[in-house]
Chain A
Amino acid sequence: EVQLVESGGGLVQPGGSLRLSCAASGFTFSSYWMHWVRQAPGKGLVWVSRINLDGSSTSYADSVKGRFTISRDNAKNTLYLQMNSLRAEDTAVYYCARVPVGGYHFDYWGQGTLVTVSS
């Protein structure tokens, strides 16, 4: 069974940093591109970032470029999102999601982890 489990969320002050993790199981993690998607409280889904199979290629939404870094450890079957210079508007539930081989859609999602940026 495919499982994606996010962790690392919590309360952080503006300007602070946080690292999210997404532990993958039930599939060959190194064979799939992975993404982060976020959802502010009561708001819609927003695509954040994606990473290719070996981590050599990444993309970011303009709103997080230069502040967030996506990475992966295929030996640990884990996806990461390092978030720096956090702002109040980064407050959201962060989901990791898998893209199937050759696809451009998200076939499995984690349950999400809440990040709250507040003083």
Chain B
Amino acid sequence: NAGVTQTPKFQVLKTGQSMTLQCAQDMNHNSMYWYRQDPGMGLRLIYYSASEGTTDKGEVPNGYNVSRLNKREFSLRLESAAPSQTSVYFCASSEGWAYNEQFFGPGTRLTVL
């Protein structure tokens, strides 16, 4: 099993450009999450999907949109990238919403110039 996979691994954008970060899991998990990790701020939840067909805002959702494409895939879209969105983005999944262990992908390192 590959676990949680993310594409791309690295990306450089110019301010105002858009892009979609892709995430897929092969563990048949119901819940999926997007986090960002910044120096001094730690890991913060952007959006989550408790189950297929539902999405909700986390702590820092502004400037992002998500799509739960199916049970396996959960994408994060930046419509108009800003330098403040320079970060490392992690996708995670868990079996269920009710306090289950979360498993993380390798991350996408995004730089917005």
Are A and B physically bound partners? no
